[in-house]
């Protein structure tokens, strides 16, 4: 399909991202005069962003069109301040404005970082998982599998959080606020796409989700980006009921593109009791209690 969204990368993505950031800021919010006559675009005009960033309009236009491949850090920081970008958005802007050379070979198969398998095996009272590129699920402990689903039972291609959230009906009933969770997944995937626009498996994933889910297609076009460092998620679990869990994302030094996610409940809360019930319900049998073998351990 000709209107199918494409992974981030290249001048077209840089232009769309900057336009979307301009559109969300009004002249009043930016502290610039609205000027005479009707405005043809929502938000800030390009010349207004240029003035706020302290660069010429011509230079900013070339930047937005992807024609300034050697733009300085100082200019990108000034544009980020003018557009009020957060740290994730600034990181995405830098990745788009300074595209990497096209990779000659596909990314190698990602293996679980050394030691993370033992970490997952040792964490018994908290849900924990490791995700990698494109939000692929590399490994999960028994409690995380009980919270979501048994990713190990899926074909390797389907062990992916974006595919789970958008294509698995279980996800829509599990999340108390599915839209919030789903939009966060899209934003995280967009951030990855800015760093790896030539990843063929990313292109396959974005293409599949765009064709199969209207929500994904619409939210992908908003160009939101987000790094999932910490936060709170609420669930309607079919076994233990309501759960409010806090998550923390940790990145191992061995592989900066892997994330260890740990989920906790407030001590003494109803969610903590529900998590204990879930742990009891999902407790592995003695035969399955040995450390699991995982590639890359």
Q: Determine, yes or no, domain membership for 297.
A: no
Quick one: 230 and 266 in the same domain? yes
Q: Determine, yes or no, domain membership for 4.
A: no
Q: Residue 183: count other Cβ atoms within 10 Å of its Cβ.
A: 18
Cα 139 to Cα 112: distance, rounded to the nearest angstrom:
8
Quick one: 168 and 46 in the same domain? no
Q: Determine, yes or no, domain membership for 1.
A: no
Quick one: 90 and 137 in the same domain? no
Backbone Cα Rg of the chain: 22
Quick one: 55 and 140 in the same domain? no
Quick one: 27 and 124 in the same domain? no
Quick one: 54 and 188 in the same domain? no
Quick one: 221 and 164 in the same domain? yes
Host domain of residue 29: 10-33+40-97
Q: How confident is the model at residue 253 (pLDDT cuts 50, 70, 90)?
A: confident
Lowest mean pLDDT segment, chosen from 4-8, 200-204, 287-291: 287-291
List, in sequence order, the alpha helices (H) in the chain. 10-23, 27-30, 46-53, 57-64, 73-82, 87-97, 116-122, 142-147, 161-167, 169-174, 178-195, 200-212, 214-220, 270-281
What pLDDT is stored for residue 102 in this prediction?
67
Closest CA to 223 of 79, 14, 60: 14
Quick one: 60 and 143 in the same domain? no
Quick one: 126 and 256 in the same domain? yes
Q: Determine, yes or no, domain membership for 152.
A: yes
Q: Determine, yes or no, domain membership for 109.
A: no
Q: Determine, yes or no, domain membership for 165.
A: yes
What pLDDT is stored for residue 12 in this prediction?
86
Quick one: 14 and 144 in the same domain? no
Position 113 pLDDT exceeds 90: no
Most confident stretch, 9-18, 28-37, 224-233 = 224-233
| CATH (domain of 48) | 1.10.260.40
What pLDDT is stored for residue 46 in this prediction?
93
Q: Determine, yes or no, domain membership for 296.
A: no
| Across 207-224, average pLDDT | 95
pTM: 0.86
Quick one: 198 and 263 in the same domain? yes
Position 294 pLDDT exceeds 60: no
What pLDDT is stored for residue 287 in this prediction?
52
| CATH (domain of 263) | 3.30.450.180
Output the average pLDDT for the chain. 88
Report how many domains make up the chain. Answer: 2
């Amino acid at each position: 399909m000709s209107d199918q969204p494409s992974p981030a990368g290249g001048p077209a993505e840089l232009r769309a991202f900057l336009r979307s950031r301009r559109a969300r800021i009004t002249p009043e919010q930016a502290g610039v005069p609205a000027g005479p006559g009707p405005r043809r675009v929502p938000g800030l005009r390009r010349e207004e962003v240029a003035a706020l960033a302290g660069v010429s309009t011509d230079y900013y236009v070339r930047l937005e069109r992807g024609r300034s491949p050697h733009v300085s850090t100082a200019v990108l920081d000034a544009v980020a301040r003018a557009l009020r970008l957060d740290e994730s958005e600034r990181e995405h802007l830098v990745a788009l404005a300074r595209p990497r050379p096209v990779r000659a070979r596909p990314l190698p198969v990602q293996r679980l970082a050394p030691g993370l398998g033992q970490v997952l095996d040792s964490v018994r009272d908290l849900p924990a998982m490791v995700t990698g590129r494109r939000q692929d699920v590399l490994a999960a402990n028994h409690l995380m599998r009980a919270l979501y689903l048994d990713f190990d039972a899926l074909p390797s291609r389907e062990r992916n959080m974006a595919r789970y959230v958008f294509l698995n009906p279980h996800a829509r009933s599990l999340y108390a606020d599915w839209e919030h969770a789903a939009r966060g997944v899209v934003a995280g995937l967009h951030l990855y796409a800015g760093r790896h626009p030539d990843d063929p498996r990313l292109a396959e994933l974005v293409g599949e989700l765009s064709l199969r889910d209207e929500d994904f297609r619409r939210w992908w076009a908003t160009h939101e980006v987000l790094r999932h460092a910490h936060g709170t998620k609420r669930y309607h679990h079919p076994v233990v009921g309501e759960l409010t869990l806090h998550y923390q994302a940790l990145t191992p030094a061995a592989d900066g593109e892997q994330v260890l996610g740990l989920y906790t409940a407030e001590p003494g809360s109803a969610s903590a009791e529900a998590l204990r019930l879930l742990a009891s319900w999902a407790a592995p049998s003695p035969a399955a209690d040995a450390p699991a073998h995982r590639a890359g351990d």
